Structure 1
Protein backbone atom coordinates (compact mmCIF):
# COMPACT_ATOMS: atom_id res chain seq x y z
CA UNK A 1 0.00 0.00 0.00
CA UNK A 2 1.08 3.53 -0.57
CA UNK A 3 -0.36 6.36 1.48
CA UNK A 4 0.25 9.87 0.19
CA UNK A 5 -0.66 12.31 2.98
CA UNK A 6 -0.64 16.03 2.38
CA UNK A 7 2.23 17.76 4.16
CA UNK A 8 4.04 14.51 4.97
CA UNK A 9 6.68 14.78 7.65
CA UNK A 10 10.37 14.49 6.88
CA UNK A 11 10.87 11.38 9.01
CA UNK A 12 13.62 9.00 7.96
CA UNK A 13 12.85 5.60 6.48
CA UNK A 14 11.94 3.01 9.06
CA UNK A 15 12.25 0.01 6.78
CA UNK A 16 13.51 -1.29 3.45
CA UNK A 17 14.47 1.48 1.08
CA UNK A 18 16.08 1.69 -2.31
CA UNK A 19 18.25 4.60 -3.39
CA UNK A 20 15.88 5.01 -6.34
CA UNK A 21 12.64 4.84 -4.34
CA UNK A 22 11.45 8.06 -2.67
CA UNK A 23 9.45 6.39 0.10
CA UNK A 24 9.63 8.45 3.28
CA UNK A 25 9.05 5.40 5.40
CA UNK A 26 8.26 1.77 4.83
CA UNK A 27 7.85 -1.26 7.03
CA UNK A 28 7.03 -4.90 6.56
CA UNK A 29 3.35 -5.37 7.30
CA UNK A 30 3.29 -9.10 6.48
CA UNK A 31 5.56 -11.62 4.80
CA UNK A 32 6.29 -10.30 1.31
CA UNK A 33 4.32 -7.10 1.91
CA UNK A 34 5.42 -3.52 2.59
CA UNK A 35 3.51 -0.52 3.84
CA UNK A 36 5.15 2.58 2.35
CA UNK A 37 4.58 6.26 2.97
CA UNK A 38 5.37 8.66 0.12
CA UNK A 39 5.34 12.42 -0.13
CA UNK A 40 2.48 13.71 -2.24
CA UNK A 41 4.89 15.56 -4.56
CA UNK A 42 6.80 12.34 -5.37
CA UNK A 43 3.54 10.55 -6.15
CA UNK A 44 2.38 13.47 -8.31
CA UNK A 45 5.62 13.35 -10.36
CA UNK A 46 5.23 9.61 -10.85
CA UNK A 47 1.56 10.02 -11.80
CA UNK A 48 2.59 12.51 -14.48
CA UNK A 49 0.97 15.48 -12.73
CA UNK A 50 3.92 17.20 -11.01
CA UNK A 51 2.20 20.59 -10.76
CA UNK A 52 -1.09 19.28 -9.40
CA UNK A 53 -2.46 17.42 -6.44
CA UNK A 54 -2.78 13.73 -7.37
CA UNK A 55 -6.36 12.71 -8.02
CA UNK A 56 -6.41 9.89 -5.47
CA UNK A 57 -8.32 9.08 -2.34
CA UNK A 58 -5.10 9.50 -0.35
CA UNK A 59 -4.45 5.76 -0.48
CA UNK A 60 -3.22 3.69 -3.39
CA UNK A 61 -2.59 -0.04 -3.54
CA UNK A 62 0.29 -1.52 -5.50
CA UNK A 63 0.31 -4.99 -6.97
CA UNK A 64 3.65 -6.25 -8.26
CA UNK A 65 3.70 -8.77 -11.09
CA UNK A 66 6.46 -10.81 -12.71
CA UNK A 67 6.88 -9.06 -16.06
CA UNK A 68 6.07 -6.02 -18.18
CA UNK A 69 3.66 -8.16 -20.20
CA UNK A 70 1.86 -9.12 -16.98
CA UNK A 71 1.40 -5.39 -16.20
CA UNK A 72 -0.30 -4.85 -19.56
CA UNK A 73 -2.43 -8.00 -19.20
CA UNK A 74 -3.62 -7.12 -15.70
CA UNK A 75 -4.44 -3.54 -16.70
CA UNK A 76 -6.53 -4.88 -19.60
CA UNK A 77 -8.36 -7.25 -17.24
CA UNK A 78 -9.01 -4.42 -14.76
CA UNK A 79 -10.45 -2.21 -17.53
CA UNK A 80 -12.65 -5.09 -18.71
CA UNK A 81 -13.95 -5.36 -15.13
CA UNK A 82 -14.87 -1.65 -14.98
CA UNK A 83 -11.59 0.04 -14.05
CA UNK A 84 -10.39 3.33 -15.57
CA UNK A 85 -6.78 3.79 -16.65
CA UNK A 86 -5.22 6.84 -15.01
CA UNK A 87 -1.71 6.17 -16.34
CA UNK A 88 -1.02 3.84 -19.24
CA UNK A 89 1.65 1.15 -18.75
CA UNK A 90 5.04 2.87 -18.97
CA UNK A 91 8.36 3.47 -17.26
CA UNK A 92 7.93 4.89 -13.75
CA UNK A 93 9.42 8.08 -12.38
CA UNK A 94 11.79 6.15 -10.12
CA UNK A 95 13.19 2.75 -9.30
CA UNK A 96 13.32 1.10 -12.74
CA UNK A 97 9.66 0.20 -12.38
CA UNK A 98 7.34 -0.40 -15.36
CA UNK A 99 3.82 0.34 -14.19
CA UNK A 100 0.32 1.72 -14.71
CA UNK A 101 -2.33 3.33 -12.50
CA UNK A 102 -5.93 2.09 -12.69
CA UNK A 103 -8.89 3.40 -10.69
CA UNK A 104 -11.34 0.73 -9.65
CA UNK A 105 -15.10 1.39 -9.88
CA UNK A 106 -15.00 2.86 -6.34
CA UNK A 107 -12.27 5.34 -7.33
CA UNK A 108 -9.42 3.62 -5.47
CA UNK A 109 -6.21 3.88 -7.52
CA UNK A 110 -4.20 0.70 -8.03
CA UNK A 111 -0.63 0.66 -9.25
CA UNK A 112 0.16 -2.44 -11.29
CA UNK A 113 3.93 -2.73 -11.40
CA UNK A 114 6.88 -4.82 -12.49
CA UNK A 115 10.06 -4.06 -10.58
CA UNK A 116 12.84 -6.36 -11.82
CA UNK A 117 14.93 -5.52 -8.73
CA UNK A 118 12.23 -6.46 -6.20
CA UNK A 119 12.56 -9.79 -4.47
CA UNK A 120 11.01 -11.50 -1.47
CA UNK A 121 13.43 -13.51 0.67
CA UNK A 122 12.58 -16.87 2.26
CA UNK A 123 11.93 -15.11 5.60
CA UNK A 124 9.35 -12.82 3.95
CA UNK A 125 11.49 -9.69 4.01
CA UNK A 126 11.40 -7.56 0.86
CA UNK A 127 14.43 -6.30 -1.04
CA UNK A 128 13.68 -3.30 -3.27
CA UNK A 129 16.92 -3.67 -5.20
Structure 2
Protein backbone atom coordinates (compact mmCIF):
# COMPACT_ATOMS: atom_id res chain seq x y z
CA UNK A 1 0.00 0.00 0.00
CA UNK A 2 2.65 2.51 1.06
CA UNK A 3 5.01 1.37 -1.70
CA UNK A 4 2.28 1.90 -4.29
CA UNK A 5 1.87 5.49 -3.14
CA UNK A 6 5.62 6.07 -3.17
CA UNK A 7 6.04 4.61 -6.66
CA UNK A 8 3.07 6.62 -7.95
CA UNK A 9 4.60 9.89 -6.74
CA UNK A 10 8.32 9.12 -7.02
CA UNK A 11 8.97 12.18 -9.19
CA UNK A 12 7.74 14.50 -6.43
CA UNK A 13 10.03 12.78 -3.95
CA UNK A 14 12.96 13.32 -6.31
CA UNK A 15 12.10 17.02 -6.77
CA UNK A 16 11.76 17.64 -3.07
CA UNK A 17 15.05 15.84 -2.41
CA UNK A 18 16.88 17.84 -5.07
CA UNK A 19 15.34 21.12 -3.89
CA UNK A 20 16.37 20.34 -0.31
CA UNK A 21 19.94 19.52 -1.36
CA UNK A 22 20.15 22.72 -3.43
CA UNK A 23 18.64 24.86 -0.69
CA UNK A 24 21.04 23.41 1.87
CA UNK A 25 23.93 24.12 -0.51
CA UNK A 26 22.89 27.77 -0.82
CA UNK A 27 22.15 28.38 2.85
CA UNK A 28 24.35 25.96 4.78
CA UNK A 29 27.67 26.20 2.97
CA UNK A 30 30.19 29.01 3.35
CA UNK A 31 32.19 28.37 0.17
CA UNK A 32 30.97 30.48 -2.75
CA UNK A 33 31.49 27.72 -5.33
CA UNK A 34 29.39 25.33 -3.25
CA UNK A 35 26.69 28.00 -3.03
CA UNK A 36 26.63 28.26 -6.83
CA UNK A 37 26.43 24.48 -7.18
CA UNK A 38 23.51 24.46 -4.71
CA UNK A 39 21.79 27.20 -6.70
CA UNK A 40 22.18 25.18 -9.91
CA UNK A 41 20.80 22.02 -8.30
CA UNK A 42 17.82 23.99 -6.98
CA UNK A 43 17.13 25.56 -10.38
CA UNK A 44 17.31 22.29 -12.27
CA UNK A 45 15.04 20.56 -9.78
CA UNK A 46 12.41 23.21 -10.53
CA UNK A 47 12.92 22.66 -14.27
CA UNK A 48 12.37 18.93 -13.84
CA UNK A 49 9.23 19.61 -11.85
CA UNK A 50 7.69 21.85 -14.50
CA UNK A 51 8.52 19.55 -17.41
CA UNK A 52 7.14 16.56 -15.52
CA UNK A 53 3.98 18.41 -14.51
CA UNK A 54 3.34 19.44 -18.13
CA UNK A 55 3.42 15.86 -19.39
CA UNK A 56 0.07 14.27 -20.24
CA UNK A 57 -0.28 10.48 -20.14
CA UNK A 58 -1.20 9.24 -23.58
CA UNK A 59 -0.80 12.71 -25.09
CA UNK A 60 0.53 13.35 -28.56
CA UNK A 61 2.35 16.21 -30.22
CA UNK A 62 0.07 19.18 -30.94
CA UNK A 63 -0.42 18.32 -34.60
CA UNK A 64 -3.90 18.32 -36.08
CA UNK A 65 -5.10 14.78 -36.63
CA UNK A 66 -8.27 13.50 -38.28
CA UNK A 67 -9.37 11.63 -35.15
CA UNK A 68 -9.74 13.32 -31.73
CA UNK A 69 -6.64 13.13 -29.55
CA UNK A 70 -5.22 14.39 -26.28
CA UNK A 71 -2.45 16.90 -26.88
CA UNK A 72 0.56 17.82 -24.78
CA UNK A 73 0.93 21.56 -24.27
CA UNK A 74 4.39 22.57 -25.57
CA UNK A 75 4.45 25.97 -23.85
CA UNK A 76 5.91 24.79 -20.49
CA UNK A 77 8.69 22.98 -22.31
CA UNK A 78 9.56 26.07 -24.32
CA UNK A 79 9.55 28.22 -21.20
CA UNK A 80 11.87 25.78 -19.43
CA UNK A 81 14.29 25.89 -22.37
CA UNK A 82 14.41 29.65 -21.94
CA UNK A 83 14.88 29.24 -18.19
CA UNK A 84 17.78 26.84 -18.77
CA UNK A 85 19.54 29.48 -20.87
CA UNK A 86 18.99 32.04 -18.12
CA UNK A 87 20.28 29.57 -15.50
CA UNK A 88 23.47 28.89 -17.46
CA UNK A 89 24.00 32.63 -17.90
CA UNK A 90 23.44 33.23 -14.20
CA UNK A 91 25.93 30.51 -13.34
CA UNK A 92 28.51 32.00 -15.73
CA UNK A 93 28.15 35.47 -14.21
CA UNK A 94 28.32 33.99 -10.71
CA UNK A 95 31.49 32.07 -11.52
CA UNK A 96 33.12 35.16 -13.01
CA UNK A 97 32.25 37.11 -9.85
CA UNK A 98 33.69 34.32 -7.71
CA UNK A 99 36.94 34.46 -9.70
CA UNK A 100 37.10 38.22 -9.19
CA UNK A 101 36.38 37.86 -5.45
CA UNK A 102 39.09 35.22 -5.13
CA UNK A 103 41.63 37.48 -6.84
CA UNK A 104 40.70 40.34 -4.53
CA UNK A 105 40.50 38.52 -1.19
CA UNK A 106 42.44 35.28 -1.75
CA UNK A 107 39.66 33.13 -0.29
CA UNK A 108 36.23 31.78 -1.15
CA UNK A 109 34.98 31.51 2.43
CA UNK A 110 32.05 33.86 2.98
CA UNK A 111 32.91 34.69 6.61
CA UNK A 112 36.55 35.51 5.78
CA UNK A 113 35.50 37.73 2.86
CA UNK A 114 33.13 39.68 5.10
CA UNK A 115 35.86 39.97 7.73
CA UNK A 116 38.46 41.15 5.20
CA UNK A 117 36.12 43.69 3.63
CA UNK A 118 35.68 45.59 6.91
Higher Cα Rg, which structure: 2
Bigger share in helix = 2
TM-score (norm 1): 0.23
TM-score (norm 2): 0.25
